[in-house]
A and B are shown apart, each in its own frame.
Chain A
Amino acid sequence: ILNVEQSPQSLHVQEGDSTNFTCSFPSSNFYALHWYRWETAKSPEALFVMTLNGDEKKKGRISATLNTKEGYSYLYIKGSQPEDSATYLCAFSSSNTGKLIFGQGTTLQVKP
């Protein structure tokens, strides 16, 4: 059984705070690790896909790192803004079919 775990389950921060979330996944049969942002009443939006151990990706104030040997990824948000409020999902894939195994998500709420 493939298990993807995310922590924390939810997070409340003040505007301007920096924050990070963790995703742990199976370290065997790794193909890719994905991060998505899912805002209420919208479709999940892809943030990053990482395939190589040591990968680091950055998009504006959001960045992610990948450690495939120990099976974890971190997502960082620098200087959180209210518009960052969303559920952040990580997903693991073990092949190129595109089938994704999702974690339960981390719900971030940024207070102005």
Chain B
Amino acid sequence: GAGVSQSPSNKVTEKGKDVELRCDPISGHTALYWYRQSLGQGLEFLIYFQGNSAPDKSGLPSDRFSAERTGGSVSTLTIQRTQQEDSAVYLCASRITGTGGWSEQFFGPGTRLTVL
């Protein structure tokens, strides 16, 4: 079946503009995660969804960042008034839960965001 998909694959925007990044998880995966990798940094957790709710959004760097998930499926990460430090690769991952034991997290190919 299809893996995790993300769109767009690349996004160049001007400082101050809003952007929306989309994630389509694997069908049936109840948990969804957003991470980002800034230049020279490791992958950094942003937010976690279980179904449509976000029990952990502790990694969102500021109130300019928000995310939602609808229908237990697609998720959108929105960055308002983008700044140059928002430039990064944004990765989405999903996994199935409730099966007992550990389940693997599957990653999408990422969206490379460049803020000029």
Which residues of A approach B to under 8 Å, CB–CB?
A: 4, 32, 34, 36, 41-46, 49, 51, 89, 91, 96-105
Residue among B50, B56, B102, B104 with max Cβ neighbours from chain A (10 Å): B102
A89 close to B56 (CB less than 8 A)? no
What is the interface of chain A mostly: helix, strand, loop, or mixed? Answer: loop
**Minimum CB distance partner of B110 in chain A:** A43
Is the CB–CB distance between A44 and B91 below 8 Å? yes
A104 to B95, CA, bound (A): 22
Tell me whether B107 is interfacial, beta carbon within 8 Å: yes
A44 to chain B, nearest CB (A): 5
- Residue B109 lies at the interface, judged by CB distance under 8 Å to chain A: yes
Is B3's CB under 8 angstroms from A43's CB? yes
Q: In the complex, what distance in Å separates the CA atom of A45 from the CA atom of B3?
A: 12
* Sample of 19 more A-B contacts, CB < 8 Å, known A41-B109, A98-B105: A4-B42, A42-B109, A43-B4, A43-B91, A43-B106, A43-B108, A43-B109, A44-B43, A44-B107, A49-B102, A97-B50, A98-B31, A98-B33, A98-B103, A99-B45, A99-B48, A99-B56, A102-B35, A104-B42
| Complex CA distance for A44 and B45, rounded to whole angstroms | 14
Total A-B Cβ pairs within 8 A: 59
> Which residues of B in the span 14-52 have a Cβ within 8 Å of any Cβ on A?
31, 33, 35, 41-45, 48, 50
Tell me how far the C-beta of B22 lies from the nearest C-beta in chain A, rounded to whole angstroms.
16
Question: Does B97 count as interface, using CB distance less than 8 angstroms?
Answer: yes
Q: Are B95 and A98 in contact (CB under 8 A)?
A: yes
Q: Establish whether residues B109 and A100, one from each chain, have CB atoms under 8 Å apart when the complex forms.
A: no
